[in-house]
Structure 1
Amino acid sequence: MSVSKTVSTSAAKTEIGMHVFRIVGYSQHPRRHEDSPIVSGSFSVGGHDWAMLIVADGLNNEDHTDCIPISLMLLNPVAAGVLASWEVRLVNQSTGLSFTVHKETPKVFDGDDNMVAVCWIKRSLLESPAYLQNDRLTVECIVTVIKKPRVSKAKSFPRIGVPPSNMAEHFGSLLETDVGVDATFIVGAEAFTVHKIVLAARSSVFKAELYGPMKEEGMGPITIKDMQPDVFRTLLHFVYTDSLPPLDDLEADDHSEMIRHLLVAADRYAIERLKLICQSILCENLNVQTVATTLALADQHNCDLLKNACIDFITCSNEMDDLLSTQGYKNLKRTCPAVVMDALEKRSKFRKA
C-alpha cells in the first residue's frame, strides 16, 4: 500500500552583528560608580538598538572580587522580548587579534527588568599590557539576535514512480514470435514452436523431456496425445506469462470445461501454481450439476483442497435429490465409490450434529 509523504522545514533565522568599542584615555573616564559607566555608542542588530556599558572601577560584589562588569543593554525593549546571545572579546593591541573572554547562551531581553546582561572580567586580564596599551582598550561585542523560525509550506516528498513489472509481457511477446525457438510440439493438427529453456525453467516434466534422459535423439517434433490444441495453447500462455489469457469469449459450460482440461494439463506437467488456480476457479463455480464431476476430477489428480471443498458442498447441500440424479454423480459412484462413501458419511455426521 502506497503511503503519502510530505515534508516541511523549520529554519532558525538569526542576525549577527559586531560592535567594536574603542576606549581612548581609559584611566581618565568616569570610573567611580555604577551610575557613571563607560558607555558605547548605540548600534543596531536584528532591528533593535543596543549599547555596551563598562564600569571601570567595578562594583562591590562578593561573588566577583576585583572584577570589572561589562554589560549589554537593549535600548528599545518590546513587550514580546528579544531572544539574543552575546560574546565579548578583548583585542590584543600588539597583534590586532581578539580573544573571547565571555560567551553567553541566548536569553530574553525585555522591559521587565531584563534589559541588561552582565559578564564579569578579571581586572588583571582586562588591564593587562596585552589589551590595555597607551591607555587604550578595544572591546568587541558580537550580538546574535534569534528571530522566529521560518517554516516552509508542506509539500509532497519527492518520489520516483516505478512501473509494475513487464517481464510477463516481454515473455508473452516472445511466445508470439519465432525468434530463438528450438523445439516443436504437435498437438492435434497444430504445431507449436517453443523455447526449450523457458519450458524447462517452468516445469520439471518439460525439463526432463527436453534436456534429461527422456529427450529424443535429434529432437524432432514432439507429439502430445490426449490434449486439445486450445488447452495446450492456454498452457503455453501460462508458462510464458504466469497468467491465464482472457477466456471471456467462452460460454459458461465451455469455460468450466477448459479449466478442467487445463487442470489435467497442469497436473501432467507439474505446474503447481496453474493447478491451484484451476482448483480455485472450479471451487468458486461449484453447483449441484457440477460438484460430482469436479469431485471425481479432484480425486483423480490429487487435488485435496478442491476435493475437500466438493465434499463440504455436498455435506451442506439442501438439494441432495437433484445432486443424486445428475450424470456426474452416477459416474462418480461407479468410478470412485470410496469418495462417495466419504461424502455421504460426512453428510450423515453433519446432519446428526
Structure 2
Amino acid sequence: MAGNSSGTELMVPTVSDVIYRYTWNIRKYARNTHKRDSFDSPPFEFNINGILTKWNMGIRFWKGPEGKKLPNPVVLCLNLLSCGISEPEQIKIRFQFAIYNEEIKQWEMCHVSRTVLQLQTTQDMLSIGYRDLSILERHIEPRKGDVSLFVKLQLVQTEAERNSLYQDLGRLLNSQAGDIIICCDDGQEFQAHTDILRCRSPVLAYMISLKDENNRLDLHDMSGDMVQEILRYIYTDHVDNLDTLASSLLAAADRLKLPGLKVLCERSLLETITPESVASLLLLADQFNCEPLKKAALAYCEDNATSIKKTLAWKVMEIVNPDLFMEACEAGLGSSISSNLDSLPSDTDLNSLS
C-alpha cells in the first residue's frame, strides 16, 4: 500500500479501516552519521477515498552546548509533503514509529502519537510529529551498518471516529448504566456490563459467577486509576496512561488473562529501558513470562554494561532469582554488577524494608 511511487487508490467504508505501514531502510547509516547532518526517506504516497497524501520520514541531530552534533538521541520526524483533497476536512492522524533490533530480530515499538489536522490541498511541507530515539549497536546491521525504521500511519475522519465501535463502547462505559459495580481499594466504584467483562476475561467471568447478591465485584487490591484503565481497554482496546501505569497494568493483565493489554504494556516498557530501570524490568519480564521484554533488557545489558547502575533491584535479583542474575551477567555484564554489590544494601537492610 505504500512505497516510493505508490499511486494506488483504495476504496474502503472509512479511512480509519486502513493502517499504512512504511519501512525505511537507511543503508550504511553507521558509516555516514559523521558525514551527514540529516537523513530523509524517499517520499511515499497514500491515496484513499479521494484523499491523496505524500509523506516522508526524516532524522535530525541535536547539538551540544558547543554546537557539536550529538550521535544520540536523534530526532525522528514524520512530515506531510503535500495533500490533495476535494474540500477541506478535519482528519485525526495516528502514527507509531518503530526501530528494528538486529540482535533479537524484533521491532521495538514507540508510543502511539495522535494529532488533528485540517487537511486541504497544499504543496507545502508540514511537520506532523517527532520523537527522540536512540539508535544503538543492537539496531545496526553488523555487516553493512544499515538501520531499519518504520512508521504505521492511520487517517481517521472525524465522523467515522465519532461512530466507530470503540467510541460507542467507550460511551457505553462512561454512561454508568451497567449491571454490575466494581469496587476498588481506594473507594472508587465503576459500573460495567457483565456480558462484556465475561467475553473479554475468563478470570472476570469466573469472579462474576461468584459475585454477591448486590451485584458488586470487589477488586480491592487495585486502585481506581488501574481499574479505570483496565475497563477502558476491555471496552475500547485503548489505554490512556501507559507511560505511568505500564508495570502495574502488566501484572493486572497477566492476572486477569488479558493478553492484548499485556502486549501493549510490554511494548511500552520496551521504550523505558535505562541503566536505572533495566534490572527491575528484567525481574518483571521474568515474573510474567514476557519474552520480548526480557530479550530486549538482556540485549540492553550487553550494549550498556559500563553504564548499568548499581540499584537495589540487582541485589534483590541476586537473592530471589539467582538464575536470572547469572543470565544478565552472562549477557555482557560480567562481574561488574556482582563486584559492586558491597555498595548496595545488605540482607539485613533488605529485610527491614519488608
Please give the TM-score of this superposition, normalised by the length of structure 2. Answer: 0.48
Question: What TM-score does the superposition give when structure 1 sets the normalisation length?
Answer: 0.48
